[in-house]
């Protein structure tokens, strides 16, 4: 079998890479093992234009938001799935300092921030004492809908192999790679945390970050026509989904359930769910949420984050047939569509990859 590209992994990166390869008419085959606890399967799916305690604008966000809107609409159109919903973060101030930081930031630059008309209009559902601010122009990606739907589409086209990729069976030549019966011009690794151990890319400055979340059933949550049975805000024809935050984030999940998380751990011994997180989060929820809830699941995964918080995109300086799309950290939902497109444009039209994302910024390290 001769293909343009052999893709390893179908998380968010592999999904958008194969989407763009198909759009540009390149042939490909994907190997993905369908592991249960990947980062993409654990993610809430939130795209938030601001970040951190100082509520600063997320890197490249103006460009990323419009690109994400268009790309999710196109792939969703092909799959007959509405996989990106407009959202708004209801940011309950956990401390008086956080309230002040929000107000200061709102005064300096109101883009993406707003104060509500009534700061206590969510008090039938939550306990909170210091009011809230809103982050506008957020999105919620429906990853539990998108990833399996795209997988099914690839299976129907006979271009997805549900197996484990064995690095020892890969032969890399200057102009192509061979793996089992496949010869391809390129192999591109979209294998998330597996790249930490890759013979080609393990020297990159990855900074693995573990995150945990609980899946909740909240039977008395008010039902509404929006996804996840959350009350839509405003009269807009496309309801804006409220996502709630007070240190932890509460967002709609599949099947009318809710996702609550997450932790950000740089130091951990294994990727499994911990009793500490469960107990801490359960106690927090009892203080925060007014309706009763049941914990149905507890998930954990490791984010493929990087030391400089910038992705790894492009081709190995010494092995031009070997590429990578990885390092999306906490922002896979907005970064993956954009950088998958850059990588494919680079392959098809020779366009440059942004220098601060191009993996060739590590040429010295990768050439050792």
Q: With binding defined as CB under 6 A, does residue 252 bind ligand FAD?
A: no
Contact between residue 218 and residue 293 where contact means Cβ atoms under 8 Å apart: yes
**Cα–Cα distance, 281 to 109 (Å, whole number):** 33
Q: With binding defined as CB under 6 A, does residue 194 bind ligand FAD?
A: yes
Closer to ligand FAD by Cβ: residue 5 or 99: 5
Binding to ligand FAD by CB under 6 A, coded x per residue (else -) over 171-190, reads -------------------x
Pairing mode, strands 46-47 and 258-261: unpaired
Rounded to 5°, the CA angle 115-117-118 comes to: 105
Rounded to 5°, the CA angle 257-61-260 comes to: 20
Report the SS3 class of residue 247: coil
* Burial class for 41, CB neighbours closer than 10 Å (0-12, 13-18, 19+): middle
In the complex, minimum distance from the CB of residue 297 to ligand FAD, in angstroms, rounded to a whole number:
12
Structure tokens at 228: 């996840």
Give 296's contacts (C-beta < 8 A, 6+ positions apart).
Answer: 215, 216, 217, 257
Binding to ligand FAD by CB under 6 A, coded x per residue (else -) over 334-363, reads x-----------------------------
User: Which residue in the set 49, 239, 252, 261 belongs to the binding site for ligand FAD (CB under 6 A)?
Assistant: 261
Q: With binding defined as CB under 6 A, does residue 11 bind ligand FAD?
A: yes
Contact between residue 21 and residue 200 where contact means Cβ atoms under 8 Å apart: no
Contact between residue 244 and residue 261 where contact means Cβ atoms under 8 Å apart: no
Binding to ligand FAD by CB under 6 A, coded x per residue (else -) over 91-110, reads --------------------
Q: With binding defined as CB under 6 A, does residue 311 bind ligand FAD?
A: no
In the complex, minimum distance from the CB of residue 123 to ligand FAD, in angstroms, rounded to a whole number:
26
Contact between residue 95 and residue 49 where contact means Cβ atoms under 8 Å apart: no
Closer to ligand FAD by Cβ: residue 179 or 288: 179
* Other residues' Cβ atoms within 10 Å of the Cβ of residue 256: 15
User: Which residue in the set 44, 113, 170, 285 belongs to the binding site for ligand FAD (CB under 6 A)?
Assistant: 44
User: Which residue in the set 5, 20, 21, 40 belongs to the binding site for ligand FAD (CB under 6 A)?
Assistant: 40
In the complex, minimum distance from the CB of residue 236 to ligand FAD, in angstroms, rounded to a whole number:
22
Q: With binding defined as CB under 6 A, does residue 42 bind ligand FAD?
A: yes
The interface region with ligand FAD, picked from 31-39, 60-68, 107-115, 349-357 by CB under 6 A, is: 31-39
Give 152's contacts (C-beta < 8 A, 6+ positions apart).
Answer: none
User: Which residue in the set 211, 239, 252, 314 belongs to the binding site for ligand FAD (CB under 6 A)?
Assistant: 211
Q: With binding defined as CB under 6 A, does residue 243 bind ligand FAD?
A: no
Tell me, rounded to whole angstroms, the distance of Cα 55 from its chain centroid. 19
Q: With binding defined as CB under 6 A, does residue 13 bind ligand FAD?
A: yes
Beta bridge partners of 242: 88
Q: With binding defined as CB under 6 A, does residue 49 bind ligand FAD?
A: no
Structure tokens at 148: 């399996």
Contact residues: ligand FAD, CB under 6 A: 8-14, 31-33, 35, 38-40, 42-46, 164-165, 190-194, 211, 213, 261-262, 301, 303-304, 326, 328-334
């Amino acid at each position: 079998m001769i293909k343009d590209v052999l893709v390893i992994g179908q998380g968010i990166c592999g999904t958008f890479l194969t989407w763009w390869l198909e759009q540009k008419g390149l042939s490909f085959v994907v190997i993905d093992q369908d592991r249960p606890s990947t980062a993409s399967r654990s993610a809430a799916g939130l795209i938030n234009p601001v970040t951190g305690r100082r509520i600063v604008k997320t890197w490249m966000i103006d460009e990323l938001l419009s690109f994400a809107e268009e790309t999710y609409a196109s792939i969703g159109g092909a799959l007959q799935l509405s996989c990106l919903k407009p959202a708004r973060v209801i940011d309950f101030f956990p401390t008086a300092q956080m309230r002040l930081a929000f107000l200061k930031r709102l005064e300096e630059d109101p883009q993406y921030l707003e104060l509500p008309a009534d700061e206590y209009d969510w008090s039938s559902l939550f306990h909170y004492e210091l009011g809230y601010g809103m982050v506008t122009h957020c999105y919620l990606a429906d990853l539990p809908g998108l990833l399996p739907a795209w997988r099914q589409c690839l299976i129907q086209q006979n271009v997805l192999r549900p197996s484990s990729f064995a690095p020892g069976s890969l032969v890399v030549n200057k102009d192509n790679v061979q793996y089992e019966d496949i010869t391809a011009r390129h192999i591109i690794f979209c294998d998330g945390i597996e790249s930490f151990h890759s013979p080609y890319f393990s020297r990159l400055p990855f900074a693995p970050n573990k995150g945990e979340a609980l899946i909740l059933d909240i039977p008395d949550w008010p039902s509404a026509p929006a996804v996840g049975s959350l009350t839509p805000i405003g009269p807009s024809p496309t309801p804006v989904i409220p996502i709630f935050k007070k240190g932890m984030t509460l967002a709609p999940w599949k099947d009318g359930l809710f996702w609550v998380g997450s932790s950000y751990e740089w130091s951990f011994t294994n990727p499994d769910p911990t009793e500490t997180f469960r107990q801490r989060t359960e106690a927090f929820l009892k203080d925060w949420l007014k309706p009763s809830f049941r914990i149905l699941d507890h998930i954990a995964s490791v984010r493929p984050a990087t030391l400089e918080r910038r992705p790894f995109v492009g081709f190995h300086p010494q092995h031009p047939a070997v590429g990578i799309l990885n390092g999306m950290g906490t922002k896979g939902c907005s970064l993956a569509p954009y950088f998958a497109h850059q990588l494919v444009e680079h392959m098809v039209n020779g366009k440059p990859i942004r220098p601060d994302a191009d993996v060739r910024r590590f040429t010295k390290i990768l050439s050792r």
